[in-house]
Every structure is written in structure tokens, then in C-alpha cells.
Amino acid sequence: MPHAPVVIVGAGLAGYTLAKELRKLAPEQPITLITADSGALYSKPMLSNALAQGQTAPTLVQATALAQAEKLQLDLRPNCSVSAIYPQQHRLETESGELPYAQLVLALGARPRQLDFPGAELALSVNNLDDYARFRARLTPGAHVLILGAGLVGCEFANDLAASGHAVTLVEAGERALQHMAPASLSLRLQNSLQSIGVQCHFGSGAREIKQLEHGYAVSLGNGCHLNADLVLSATGLIPETALAKSAGLAVGQGILVNDQLCTSAADIYALGDCVELGVSGSSQVLPYVLPLMQQARVLASILSGTPSRLSLPALPVAVKTPACPMVLCPPDRNAPGDWHCERDDSLGAIHHFLGRDGGLLGFALAGDACGQRRQLAGRAPALLE
């Protein structure tokens, strides 16, 4: 369909980064971007540390939809959801009618993991700008917030809320914070740092019930402990958004399955960002972080502009935005054989290497002043995809 546009569904970091990179390479390429939200440009990773900086939802907006449409020369369709994809006909069904495409890119992101216990719907989650606005509207000065989940986002919110003058209780069903990303000693270092700024931590038992009280909420844990809070915030992880792709007959696993050219199982349909599951050489992985997304956008822009390209991903460390205990983590594959080894651990910082059975570096974790070694160690760690 030579006159049909490249259509991007989703105006998050993935969708807008792809549009920007494609526009650089193909100035005349028609691009249509469809999004169910307002289309405002903002940094989603900033949501978990915006409070201490005094940021509100409006101040987090970096550019309006209109400004983005003009800057990138897009046909931008905000507040418009896509109800169906017809791969054989190369068209979409949207709230504003049918839309043909030459190539379609799904940048659908991920949704919060659904909790399954009585009263779970009473917990808030913050996964986009509108969520953050609702959270801020209900957050009163000095409010006590109970956070479910001590992963990356839960720990960042705990630090941010405590630094903003709020009482914080952090509840984690697992045995420690960042359990799947950091060695035990760094988890303890982070826990101690959060506790030093007033965060109360409960590990080893998750929530089993939330009840609304006249003022606030009562949260019961699996170990019989009962906690009260003014607000409950769920940060128990994200699930790639796959429903639209699945209904169109595309192959999905944990995410929308793509190869190293970001191709889905349907011709001329691609996907990138938090919604994808990258399947290469018999294995697959979900990469829900900013740096892999940026790499994907550059490769896909090249492909869509007519230059063949394949995705390669070096080791990409993740910065943990917890000022009480700054950390950089580059965890190994969960199935990697090996062990964590402490190279340094003192009051100023820490360095931990994950070494394979042959002594090779498969991952690392840094804290404090050692965070500056991220580039050096990333150059030694194995690539995510070559």
C-alpha cells in the first residue's frame, strides 16, 4: 500500500522515540500515531521520583500533543483507541473509523499486574501520567502510604514519598527488596537506607485483604499482621500489553513475540518497547527498561526507512532512583549458573560481580560511589543480544 502511512499505536516513550528516529531518516514518510491518552510527551520513569522534586502531572509534561505533531510532522490522533487489527487487509479499526497502514508498529507498553485478593481494587497503581494525577489528588500532606511490592518501582516510590514528608510502609511477599536483581547484601543495604529515612519494611508475606475504613484502609498480610494506611499503592510489576495483538492472531507469549528485526508473526506488523518479548536462538526475554527500548527504536526506524538492520543489545545496566542508596544493577539471566561475589563493601559504596562457573563476568551490582564504574563493567559483561 504505497500511499498508506506507517501507523504507530502508542504515544509513550517507545512510540515517540520511534517517530523521532524515523522522521530523521525519512523526512517525507507519512506517519500516523494513534494513542488512547492525551498524547502529551512525558518521561514515565520520572513518575516514581517526582514528588521530592515538587512535580505535578502538568509540570511533568515536556510537550503537548499538538507540539509533538508539529515537531515530528505527524498525523497524531489522541484519545483514540484501536479496537481491532486486520493483518490481511492492512487496516485498523479505531474509534474514529478505519485506517489503512503500509506498516504497523505496536508500542502498547505494559499494564500493572492485577492483584487477586479481597479488596485488591482499592489499591492505586501509577503506570502513566493520568494515574499519577489521580495519586497526587488523593495524597494529602504527611499521608501514610502503604506500598505493595519492593521491586524497582516500589523502592523508588518508597524513597520518594519518605523524602517528601510522608509516612511509608513497604510490604514485600518475597524475602527482600530487589530480590531478582541484586545480591542479598545490597538488598539489605537498600533496606537499611530506606529505614534510615523512616520507611517501615515488612518482608516475607504479602497482602491478603484490603478493607476500606472511615478514614483510610486496613491491610491484612498473610502472616496475620494488620496494618493501617491512608493510601495503598500497588507496585507489584507490569505485564506486557498483548490483548490487541492476540485478538489479531499475532503470536504472543509473555509479550508480543518479535525477532531481532522487531517483526511480529504477521507481515508488516512490528512491535517494540515494554509490550514485546524478544525471541532469538531458541530463547526469549522481556526487556522492560529504557535503554533496550531506545536501541529497538533506532533499529526499527532504519528498517522502516528501507535500510535492513538487526537488533543487538550490549549489557544495559539499570539505575535505581533511590537517593538514600544509589544503585546501578546489571543482573545476570535468571537461569545463569554462577554466584555473586563481593569485591568491595564499605560505608561509601559497594561492588558485586556475578561470576559464571568459568569465572567470567555475567552481571554486576554497584552502590554509592561505585556507581561510576557502570560503563567500565558494562563493557565486560556479556551482551543481551549479539
Per the prediction, the chain carries an average pLDDT of: 95
**Helix, strand, or coil (residue 155):** helix
| pLDDT beyond 80 at 386 | no
pLDDT tens per residue, range 99-123? 999 999 999 999 999 999 999 999 9
Which of 153, 313, 316 lies closest to 236, judged by CA? Answer: 153
User: How far is the C-alpha of 240 from the C-alpha of 160, rounded, in Å?
Assistant: 26
pLDDT in tens, 23-48: 999 999 999 999 999 999 999 999 99
Q: What is the pLDDT of residues 125-136, one digit of tens each?
A: 999 999 999 999
Look at strands 256-258 and 276-280 and give their pairing.
parallel
What is the C-alpha R_g of the chain?
Answer: 22
pLDDT digits (tens, 9 = 90+) for 249-297: 999 999 999 999 999 999 999 999 999 999 876 668 888 889 999 999 9
pLDDT in tens, 196-213: 999 999 999 999 999 999
Q: Domains in the chain and their CATH numbers?
A: 6-111+239-304 (3.50.50.60), 114-234 (3.50.50.60), 326-378 (3.30.390.120)
pLDDT at 281: 61
Predicted local distance difference test score (pLDDT) of residue 1:
52
Task: Quickly list H helices, 64-183.
Answer: 65-72, 129-138, 152-163
Show the beta-strand stretches assigned E in 122-199. 144-148, 167-172
Element (H, E) at 293: helix 290-304
Q: What is the pLDDT of residues 333-351, one digit of tens each?
A: 888 899 999 999 999 999 9
Residue bearing the bigger pLDDT, 157 or 283: 157
The b-or-e profile of 223-241 (16+ CB within 10 A means b, else e) is: eeeebebbbbbbbbebbbb
* pLDDT tens, position by position, 356-376: 999 999 999 999 999 999 999
Q: For 50-95, how does the pLDDT look when each residue is reduced to its tens digit (9 = 90+)?
A: 999 999 999 999 999 999 999 999 999 999 999 999 999 999 999 9
pLDDT in tens, 223-257: 999 999 999 999 999 999 999 999 999 999 999 99
pLDDT for the residue 384: 79
Q: What is the pLDDT of residue 2?
A: 55
| Residue environment code for 259-290, b if the CB has 16+ CB neighbours within 10 A, otherwise e | ebebbbbbebbbbbbbbbbbbbeeeebbbbeb
In this predicted model, what pLDDT tens digit does every residue of 311-326 receive, in sequence order?
Answer: 998 898 999 999 999 9
All three cell numbers of 380, joined, read 565486560
